[in-house]
Amino acid sequence: MGKLTRRTFLVSGAVLGGGALFGFIATPNRLALRAPATEQNAWMATWVSIAPDNTITVLVPHAEMGQGTHTALPMMLAEELEADWSKVQMQQAPAESIYAVGDMIKGFIASGLNVPSVFKRQEDFAFYKIASLMNMQITGGSASVRFTGQAGMRRAGAAAKEMLIRAAAENWQVDSEECEAKLSYVYHQASGQSASFGELAEQASKYEPSLQPVLKKKEDYSICGKPLPRFDTPAKVVGQQNYGIDVVLPGMKYAAIKHSPVFAGTAVSFDDSGIKKRKGFETVIKLSDSFVLIADNYWRAKTALAELAVEFSDGENADFSSDKLFSDFAQLLASDDTKIENDLQQGDVEATLTSADEIISAEYKVPFLAHATMEPMNCTAHYHDGQLEIWTGTQDLLAARAFAAEVADIDMENVTAHPVQLGGGFGRRIPSTGNYIEEAVRIAMQVSYPVKLIWTREEDMQHDYYRPAVESHFQASLGPQGQPQAWRNVYTDIGVSEDTSAAFVPYAISEQSIGRIEHETPVPVSYWRSVEYSSQGFFRESFIDELAHKAGVDPLNYRLSLLKQAPRYSAALVMAAKNIGWQRKLAPGHGLGIAIVESFGSIVAQAVEVSIVNEQLSVHRVSAVVDSGEVINPEIARSQVEGGVIYGLTAALFGKISLEKGRVIQNNFPDYQVLKLSGTPQIDVSFIESGEGIGGMGEVGVPPIAAAVCNAIYAANGRRIRQLPLIDQNLTILA
Amino acid sequence: MAFNLTINGEQKTVDVEPAMPLLWVLRDELGLTGTKFGCGIAACGACTVHVNGVATRTCVLPVSAVDGADITTIEGLGKNGLHPVQQAWIEHQVPQCGYCQSGMIMSVVSLLDRTENPSVEELKQTVSNVCRCGTYQRVRAAVDSLKEG
């Protein structure tokens, strides 16, 4: 676990009406953060409150977008607190700096832990600089459990428990060592006395919390490691979960939007004379790159907007196409080496390749991808009495609030951001890509009523911030026993993060050269469930498979022979192979493939069975093995990995965003096809709890799947796929 | 124009354009937001409700086409205690983000109303709702647990 910096403290305070608050917070000024004892802000400065009736409420400073963090984080705190889980509740923390998670992450950066790039990026938005990590509550990088949970929730729970025990011991005038906390009570066995946490909380809150409380041993866990049901399931099966799109306010109007079809184009003029008399019509607003039509019902807004005469100026990107981009990529990668920025240089790769009998070369490509969250982008905003309120599903409520203040050009103190559930995130709903938030705020500043802006699916698909298209060129030479001697990978980089580790190789290869060539495009790009790991995982794990076949060695054994120094990798591969039945005799046309990728602190191996019969591809089965060090809630973890497999498999089979004349071609689910129940393979997920540092879960299921499938295709019919999606590779997909 | 609908057992009259899709009548006129907007072209199934007992996608279904119809939404399904499908969804921890699940559940309920023991093929063909979180395997397990025998 990383060391805490001097700027991080545990705080506590009494709550009016009894009970207490305990929290771990990161702040330059701890005295300012003593929870003021008023009903309104009793929640401030704390991650847990204990009420007199012994109800425990855990405040989670992260967004719930399906990944289960609103259940997993309270589990971590409740475990250390020795709370009675049946009386634990969850509440999402408000968008206040006091609940920012940035400084805790900074503490981890300082102690040398690998922090996901999504956090670093937040320091420097393209257009809206958010000055400080203090305004960050980001949910991303598969990091909530790893950082907030590990450093915050566990410590806050343990410290609060120590204070509760101390309160009981003082009341009973016994040694605190003789007291024990269990199921939200403190007991003193010798005297037979007991008191509930609720009774002790107010007194306990007066003590100085320990910064380094003693944490429980894993073997003593009674909550963590159990498949406890999620808090949010009951509401979600009866249609009562409140998503951003469901917000209803008195007097609210609805807005539909049409963006410039060409990126960075501008909105020029409109003529609403033909539609002004339509029922429910309110007004048209011209924004810099879009037109917004407001009506009293969303369908009326949407249909009227479709008939609004508008003029856009395409700007300079009207010639852009993805075909041209890939020809630029090829040219760049074929050009001289001076453009290459090295990520890793080890040994003399060029010399080894030059003197090799044979150089094995391969060119891999992946397209742009959209997120296509089920809930289209939306934001409701209301500006009244100098106050701005926003309701939107966001992966960072606090930064969204800061962003909205920046757009509205008002003080952040005058902005309220209300937490709502996200209908999918996958990296789309981080504030640095919050164009829908910006638009809603600009609209709200021009009208007197609350407005709910909803993008159509078409706008969502054509104005996303996409997973970058990438091309990667590999060269390798093999040694006398067929092992790779030199490994060269040069890839194109059109942005997103500075994280270069995705292209790194876990295999023991003495000579390595990995580098990238930067290139600019007008296409907005951003995070997408595992980002670079999804593309580089496909490239690397396919190319190593090529080398195995070239060497005439079983791809599993080939990997294992190169992973002798990486026992966690070997164990995951061996288990995945065993689970799929690597050695068994297969039906004609069937093939098995395997791949392994470490991302966000977890090592994931996946073995896949496919069949190709008459050029028809079916994916039958996926065996995934995850070494995340530790698993907090195995059911939630399992569902995350199942979901990651489906997300990555969808992309591998069908996913492609392409552009012509500066415009995105795909516009809805029929031409941006997604996997449905009919095409879902059997997925089994196993966990290895190696006890190493706790790894992420939300993204880690995605990266290996494309390579595992393509390696299985090669095993089935000897055809090597080097470009995705598979549907473009003269294959019919049975799905 | 006025249209009469029986929604979750209650008589409702809405005065809207005949072309307005039932989805937006439910969401924006009647405040029943459990039924979701996903694609607007009946491709994803997030807007599925029961029209006279049959799972129907409502984002392109004009209200004029369902005048006088009996409509059940996700809010009505669990009105008198959770429906067995909803219970199975909790037991199998199906939802992740949950956004598609109203439609998914309505689609499955309609299938099970028609046939108690749907075959794998029937399930595949009938429940074609999109879920981007990838809950399909759990949907399958939950449906399997509801089959007879």
Nearest to B97 among A66, A650, A678 (CB): A66
For residue B88, the chain A residue with the least C-alpha distance is A237
* H or E element at residue A283: strand A281-286
- Show residues of chain A in contact with B123, CB under 8 Å: 677
For residue A679, the chain B residue with the least C-alpha distance is B124
Angle at A396 between CA A394 and CA A400, to 5 degrees: 80
At residue A399, the 3 state secondary structure works out as helix
* Per-position b or e across A349-360, b if 16+ CB within 10 A of its CB: beebbeebeeeb
In whole angstroms, give the CA distance from residue A396 to residue A382.
19
In whole angstroms, give the CA distance from residue B5 to residue B73.
12
Tens digit of pLDDT for each residue in A176-212? 999 999 999 999 999 999 999 999 988 887 787 776 7
In whole angstroms, give the CA distance from residue A726 to residue A729.
5
CB contact under 8 A, A237 and B105: yes
The per-residue pLDDT for B149 is 56
CB contact under 8 A, B41 and A668: yes
Q: Rounded mean pLDDT of chain A?
A: 88
- pLDDT class of A122 with cuts at 50, 70, 90: very low
The number of beta carbons lying within 10 Å of the beta carbon of residue A270 is 19
**DSSP secondary structure string for all residues of A78-116:** HHHHT--GGGEEEEEPPS-GGG--HHHHHHHHHTT----
Q: Does the pLDDT at position A34 exceed 50?
A: no
- pLDDT class of B147 with cuts at 50, 70, 90: confident
- Show residues of chain B in contact with A229, CB under 8 Å: 90, 93
In whole angstroms, give the CA distance from residue B32 to residue A376.
18
Nearest to B124 among A303, A644, A678 (CB): A678
The minimum CA-CA distance between A735 and chain B, rounded to whole Å, is: 9
CB contact under 8 A, A239 and B89: no
In whole angstroms, give the CA distance from residue B39 to residue A373.
11
For residue B43, the chain A residue with the least C-alpha distance is A669
- Show residues of chain B in contact with A307, CB under 8 Å: none
Nearest to A646 among B23, B100, B134 (CB): B134
Nearest to B95 among A237, A426, A680 (CB): A237
The number of beta carbons lying within 10 Å of the beta carbon of residue B52 is 12
pLDDT > 90 in chain A, percent: 74
Which residue, A635, A621, A611, is CA-closest to A731? A611
- pLDDT class of A560 with cuts at 50, 70, 90: very high
pLDDT > 70 in chain A, percent: 87
Residue A315 near residue A511 (C-beta atoms within 8 A): no
Tens digit of pLDDT for each residue in A600-647? 889 999 999 999 999 999 999 999 999 999 999 999 999 999 999 999
- pLDDT class of A47 with cuts at 50, 70, 90: confident
For residue A422, the chain B residue with the least C-alpha distance is B97
The per-residue pLDDT for A121 is 40
State which of A98-107, A328-337, A475-484 shows the largest mean pLDDT: A475-484
The number of beta carbons lying within 10 Å of the beta carbon of residue A522 is 17
The per-residue pLDDT for A101 is 62
Answer left, alpha or beta for residue A19, where phi above 0 means left and psi between -120 and 50 means alpha.
Answer: left
- Show residues of chain A in contact with B17, CB under 8 Å: 279, 300
CB contact under 8 A, A677 and B28: no
For residue B78, the chain A residue with the least C-alpha distance is A238
Q: Does the pLDDT at position A46 exceed 70?
A: no
Asked if A8-237 and A244-315+377-454 have one fold, the answer is yes
- Show residues of chain A in contact with B128, CB under 8 Å: 676-678
The minimum CA-CA distance between A285 and chain B, rounded to whole Å, is: 22
| Preferred mutation among A233, A638, A683 to probe B, highest tally of B CBs within 10 A | A233
Mean pLDDT calculated for residue range A689-693: 90
CB contact under 8 A, B40 and A644: no
Q: At what angle do helices A154-172 and A197-204 cross, to 10 degrees?
A: 90
Q: Does the pLDDT at position A106 exceed 90?
A: no
* H or E element at residue A613: strand A602-613
The per-residue pLDDT for A137 is 66
- Show residues of chain B in contact with A298, CB under 8 Å: 24, 27-28, 37
pTM of this structure: 0.92
The per-residue pLDDT for A102 is 56
For residue B46, the chain A residue with the least C-alpha distance is A374
Q: Which fold has domain A244-315+377-454?
A: Aldehyde Oxidoreductase; domain 4 (3.30.365)
The per-residue pLDDT for A354 is 95
For residue A299, the chain B residue with the least C-alpha distance is B24
ipTM over 0.95: yes
Q: Which domains does chain B have, with CATH numbers?
A: 2-77 (3.10.20.30), 84-146 (1.10.150.120)
CB contact under 8 A, A375 and B34: no
Q: How many residues appear in chain B?
A: 149
- Show residues of chain B in contact with A300, CB under 8 Å: 17, 20
Answer left, alpha or beta for residue A566, where phi above 0 means left and psi between -120 and 50 means alpha.
Answer: beta
DSSP A368: B
CB contact under 8 A, A238 and B34: yes
- Give me the residue spans of the domains in chain A: 8-237, 244-315+377-454, 323-369+466-733
In whole angstroms, give the CA distance from residue A392 to residue A418.
7
Residue A607 near residue A594 (C-beta atoms within 8 A): yes
For residue A235, the chain B residue with the least C-alpha distance is B98
The per-residue pLDDT for A133 is 42
CB contact under 8 A, A238 and B129: no
Which residue, B129, B133, B86, is CA-closest to A234? B86
CB contact under 8 A, B89 and A237: yes
The reply to whether CATH 3.30.365.10 applies to domain A8-237 is yes
The minimum CA-CA distance between B136 and chain A, rounded to whole Å, is: 5
Q: Within 13 Å, how many C-alpha atoms sit on residue A246's CB side?
A: 18
Q: How many residues appear in chain A?
A: 735
Q: Does the pLDDT at position A85 exceed 60?
A: yes
Nearest to A647 among B23, B43, B134 (CB): B134
The per-residue pLDDT for A51 is 84
In whole angstroms, give the CA distance from residue A234 to residue B86.
8
Phi and psi at B33, nearest 5°, equal -90, 5
- Show residues of chain B in contact with A246, CB under 8 Å: 33
Residue A212 near residue B69 (C-beta atoms within 8 A): no
The minimum CA-CA distance between B96 and chain A, rounded to whole Å, is: 4
Tens digit of pLDDT for each residue in A211-244? 678 999 999 999 999 999 999 999 999 999 999 9
The per-residue pLDDT for A95 is 76
Looking at the DSSP bridge assignments, the partners of residue A342 are A515
User: Before A261, cis peptide (omega within 30)?
Assistant: no
For residue A649, the chain B residue with the least C-alpha distance is B134
Mean pLDDT calculated for residue range A31-48: 37
* H or E element at residue A577: helix A567-580
Tens digit of pLDDT for each residue in B112-124? 999 989 999 999 9
- CATH value of A323-369+466-733 in 3.30.70.260, 2.40.33.10, 3.40.50.2300, 3.30.365.10: 3.30.365.10
